[in-house]
Amino acid sequence: MEMSATGLELIKGAEGFRERFYCDVAGIPSIGYGHRLLPGEHFPDGISEAEAVRILSVDVREAERAVLRLVRVPLTQGQFDALVDFCFNLGAGRLAASTLLKALNARRYDAAREQLLRWDVAAGEVNAGLRARREAEARLWAGPARAIIAAEEPRQKVSHRNAA
Q: Is 86 strand, coil or helix?
A: helix
15 flagged as catalytic: yes
- Give the count of beta carbons closer than 10 Å to the beta carbon of residue 7: 28
Catalytic one among 2, 9, 15, 41? 15
Q: What's the CA gap between 125 and 68, in Å, rounded?
A: 31
How far lies 76's CA from each of 1, 8, 128, 136, 144, in Å?
Answer: 10, 16, 27, 16, 10
- Residues with a catalytic annotation lie at 15
